[in-house]
Amino acid sequence: MNGIAYPISFTVSDADVVAAEIAHNIGPDRTMSIIAASTTSTLPANIADYAEFNTSDGATVETLVGGWFGRHVFLHNQTSGSITFGTNANICNRYILAKYAYVEAIYTPRSCWYLH
């Protein structure tokens, strides 16, 4: 790495833990967040890799709040029934997520979530 103008610096926040934060970093947090499956479901504001639906079997999701161009998130259905994603708001394609299954969601330049 030649010519680095601004070195990365960090501080020790605890005797056993070193924490570093880089401004405007959009890297993954590798966390699992639990959200409610409803007509409007809100993804966490942090850059979570996984979101887990934990409510209402048979719910239909029409809107996923918390998208920005290029955001990827894996959605997991931990309910005992399927969850349907409709296309009446910001979801590009209809998708049925079977119980205990995963789907990848990508926020596209069309301002909608593509599920596959």
Question: Is residue 50 included in any domain, yes or no?
Answer: yes
Question: Is residue 55 included in any domain, yes or no?
Answer: yes
* Sign of the alpha-carbon torsion through 88, 90, 95, 100: negative
Instruction: Convert the pLDDT of each residue in 82-114 to its tens digit.
Output: 999 999 999 999 999 999 999 999 999 999 999
Instruction: Convert the pLDDT of each residue in 53-64 to its tens digit.
Output: 887 667 899 999
Total domains, the chain = 1
What whole-number distance in Å separates Cα of residue 28 and Cα of residue 48?
6
Question: Is residue 13 included in any domain, yes or no?
Answer: no
The pLDDT-based confidence of 67 (bands split at 50, 70, 90) is confident
Instruction: Convert the pLDDT of each residue in 23-59 to its tens digit.
Output: 445 555 556 788 888 999 998 877 667 888 887 667 8
At 82, which CATH number? 2.60.120
Length of the chain: 116
CA atoms within 13 A on the CB side of 99: 7
- Domain extent, residue 91, equals 26-115
Question: Is residue 20 included in any domain, yes or no?
Answer: no
